[in-house]
Structure 1
Amino acid sequence: MKRVLIIEDDDNNYVLISDLLTHAGFTTQRAGTGEEGVRMALEENPYLVLLDIQLPDIDGYEVLRRIRDSQPDGAMPIIAVTSYAMSGDRERLLAAGCNGYIEKPIDPLRVVRQIRDIAGVAP
C-alpha cells in the first residue's frame, strides 16, 4: 500500500481525508505541525505528502521549502490542501514547488481522484 503523510492540524480535516484515502487503498500518517511534518517526510519517505498551508508553528511554504531543499530531485509529490483560495494562491504554491493544489472544503467525491491524478497513481 502507498503511504500518504497528511500534514494537517485540524482533527476533522485529517479524519475526513484519512478515511477517504484509507477507503481508496492508501495508508496514512499524520503530522499535526509543520516541524513534525518536515521530520516525518524526511525520515519516513512517504509516497506523497498532503500539506495544509496554515499550520500552528511554521507555515506550509516553509515546510515545502525544507522538504524540497533536503530532497532536491523533487521526487516526493507534495500537494497543498488548503483554504487559501485567493487569486494567485494556487499559482504561488505551484511555483514554490507543490505538485498540486486542492481547495478546502474538499469535495469527498473528487478528492481521491484529484490526488491520484496529481501523483500519477492508477486506481
Structure 2
Amino acid sequence: MTSCLIVDDSKVVRMVARRILQDLNFACIEAEDGKGAMDVCLDKMPDVILLDWNMPVMNGIDFLRELRKADGGSEPVVVFCTTENDMAHIREAISAGANEYIMKPFDRAIIEAKFSQVGVL
C-alpha cells in the first residue's frame, strides 16, 4: 500500500484529505507542521507527501528544501496543497522540488487528477 504523509496545521484539512486518500487506498500518516513532518520522514520516508505552505514551526517550503537534502528525500512525490495561488509561489515550490500543486479548497476529483498526473494513482 502506498503511504501518504498529510502535512497541514488544520485538523479539518488533514481529516478531509485522509478520508479521500484512504478511499484511494493510501496508508495515511499526519503531521501538523514541517518539523513534525521532517521527524516522520527521517523515521520512515513516505511515498507521497501532501504539503501545506503556511504552517507554524516550519512552513511547507522550508520543509521541502530540508526534505530534498535528506537521505532518501528525493524519493517522495510532493504535492503542495495551499491557498497560495500566485505564479511566484508556484514557481518557488516547483524549483524547491515540488512535483505538483493543488489549490485549496480541494475535493476528491482534484486530488485524483493531480495524483494521477504525478503517477501515484
TM-score computed with the length of structure 2 as normaliser: 0.91
In 2, Cα distance between equivalents of 1:94 and 1:81: 13
Give the aligned CA root-mean-square deviation in angstroms. 1.5
Counterpart position of 1:70: 70
1:103 alignment partner AA: M
Structure 1 stretches of 4+ moved >3 Å: none
In 2, Cα distance between equivalents of 1:2 and 1:91: 27
In 1, Cα distance between equivalents of 2:24 and 2:36: 25
In 2, Cα distance between equivalents of 1:34 and 1:73: 14
In 2, Cα distance between equivalents of 1:73 and 1:34: 14
Counterpart position of 2:120: 121
Q: Percent identity?
A: 24
Task: Tell me whether 1:104 sits opposite 2:104 in the alignment.
Answer: yes
89 and 43 in structure 1: CA distance in 2 versus 1, 3 angstrom threshold:
same
102 and 14 in structure 1: CA distance in 2 versus 1, 3 angstrom threshold:
same
Task: Tell me whether 1:48 sits opposite 2:48 in the alignment.
Answer: yes
* CA drift at 1:121: 2.3
In 1, Cα distance between equivalents of 2:34 and 2:76: 17
* CA drift at 1:101: 0.8
In 1, Cα distance between equivalents of 2:100 and 2:82: 11
Counterpart position of 1:29: 29
Contact persistence 1:41–1:49 (CA under 8 A)? no
* CA drift at 1:83: 0.7
TM-score computed with the length of structure 1 as normaliser: 0.90
Number of matched pairs: 121
In 1, Cα distance between equivalents of 2:71 and 2:82: 23
